Amino acid sequence: MKRFVLLVCVLCIAASAGVAGAYFSAQKLVADNVVRAGNISLAVEPVSSAVSIDNLAPGVAEVRRLTVTNDGTLPADVSVTNQRKAGITAFYNVLECAVFHGETELYRGLLNEMQTAPVQLVPGESAALDVAVLLPAEAPNSFSGDYTRFTLYVNAEQLR
Helix/strand/coil percent split, the chain, to 5: 20, 40, 40
* 96 occurs within a structural domain: yes
* 136 occurs within a structural domain: yes
Residues 6+ apart with CB under 8 A from 40: 70, 72, 74, 76, 156, 157, 158
**Residue 46 sits in a domain of what CATH number?**
2.60.40
Nearest alpha-carbon partner for 106 in 119, 93, 95: 119
pLDDT at 159: 87
* 12 occurs within a structural domain: no
* 89 occurs within a structural domain: yes
Q: What is the pLDDT of residues 83-101, one digit of tens each?
A: 999 999 999 999 999 999 9
Residues 6+ apart with CB under 8 A from 69: 42, 43, 44, 45, 121, 124, 125, 126, 127
* 9 occurs within a structural domain: no
* 32 occurs within a structural domain: no
* 94 occurs within a structural domain: yes
44-49-55 Cα angle (round to 5)? 140
Q: Which domain holds residue 46?
A: 42-158
pLDDT at 9: 60
Q: Average pLDDT, stretch 136-149? A: 96
Q: What is the pLDDT of residues 12-53, one digit of tens each?
A: 665 555 555 678 999 999 999 999 999 999 999 999 999 999
* 111 occurs within a structural domain: yes
CA–CA dist 68, 128 (Å, integer): 6
pTM of the complete model: 0.80
Q: How many domains does the chain divide into?
A: 1
- Exposed, middle or buried by CB within 10 Å (0-12, 13-18, 19+), for 55? exposed
